[in-house]
Amino acid sequence: MMNSQPNSIAELMQRANDMAGVSLGDIANEHQLNVPDNLKRDKGWIGQLIEMELGATAGSKPQQDFLHLGVELKTIPIDQSGRPIETTYVTVAPLTNIQGLTWENSVVFHKLQQVLWIPVQGDRSIPVANRKIGTPVLWSPNPEQLTALQQDWEEIMEMIALGQVEKVTARHGEALQLRPKAANSHSLTESIAENGLIKLSNPRGFYLKINFTHQILTNAFG
């Protein structure tokens, strides 16, 4: 059962606030869904469940989840102290046809304009069904965060443009990092070669580092 699209940010936030303190098992029951014992084979299960509850538009378009509201939805697993357990996937990294692409025109920039963070207990010792949803955070990057993101993005994209995508490791970047994003390490997609022509590389995605998302949550909760 997919809930209807929220018509305003206020409506979206009301739904999000109503989920706070509720367990994943309770939400799943509302939608008559079974809860997996673990997430090994259901890595996106929590995200999909929350999308359903909040009425996000299903689909795999490279756009915000609530395009009409200008809001991207992200669930984020946190430990007992409220620190994110995992990095946050943002989007696939473009590896070709990037001449003239600017930060302001990038998918990363657009998706991070406004994000609704839904913290969820992520400690693996807690059964998935018992994990509780936390207080939502509607976030937009402040000037400092925006600058940090832009610097990382531009540095990484320059490497890609120069045919150096394989030389970019997850250690690059303070806020944003580039990592594999594929079915496996053998997946291939077109990328720019050092001679400017096309070569094949493992697909990459942009991720927000934990320290960065931790700061977002910390700022929101004082």
Partner DNA sequence: GGTTGATCATAA
Partner DNA sequence: TTATGATCAACC
**Among candidates 137, 120, 129, which has minimal Cα distance to 17?**
137
Output 21 or 62, the one with its CB closest to DNA: 62
Q: Are residues 134 and 120 in contact, defined by beta-carbon separation less than 8 angstroms? A: yes
Output 1 or 143, the one with its CB closest to DNA: 1
Q: Are residues 138 and 69 in contact, defined by beta-carbon separation less than 8 angstroms? A: no
Residue with tokens 């869904």, as numbered in its chain = 33
Closest contact distance (angstroms) between CB of 49 and DNA is 9
Q: What is the dihedral of CA 191, 193, 198, 200, to 10 degrees?
A: -50
Q: Are residues 135 and 119 in contact, defined by beta-carbon separation less than 8 angstroms? A: yes
Closest contact distance (angstroms) between CB of 140 and DNA is 17
Cα–Cα distance between 95 and 104 in angstroms, integer? 17
Closest contact distance (angstroms) between CB of 197 and DNA is 16
Output 101 or 143, the one with its CB closest to DNA: 101
Closest contact distance (angstroms) between CB of 1 and DNA is 15
Output 40 or 143, the one with its CB closest to DNA: 40
Closest contact distance (angstroms) between CB of 181 and DNA is 5
Q: Are residues 182 and 64 in contact, defined by beta-carbon separation less than 8 angstroms? A: no
Q: Which SS3 state, helix, strand or coil, does residue 158 take?
A: helix
Closest contact distance (angstroms) between CB of 196 and DNA is 19
**Among candidates 92, 91, 51, which has minimal Cα distance to 75?**
51
Output 72 or 152, the one with its CB closest to DNA: 72
Helix runs in 62-133, H state only = 107-111
Q: Which residues bind DNA (CB under 7 A)?
A: 38-44, 46-48, 50-51, 59-63, 65, 72-77, 85-89, 91-92, 107, 120, 122, 124, 169-171, 177, 179-190, 202-203, 205, 209-211
Output 75 or 143, the one with its CB closest to DNA: 75
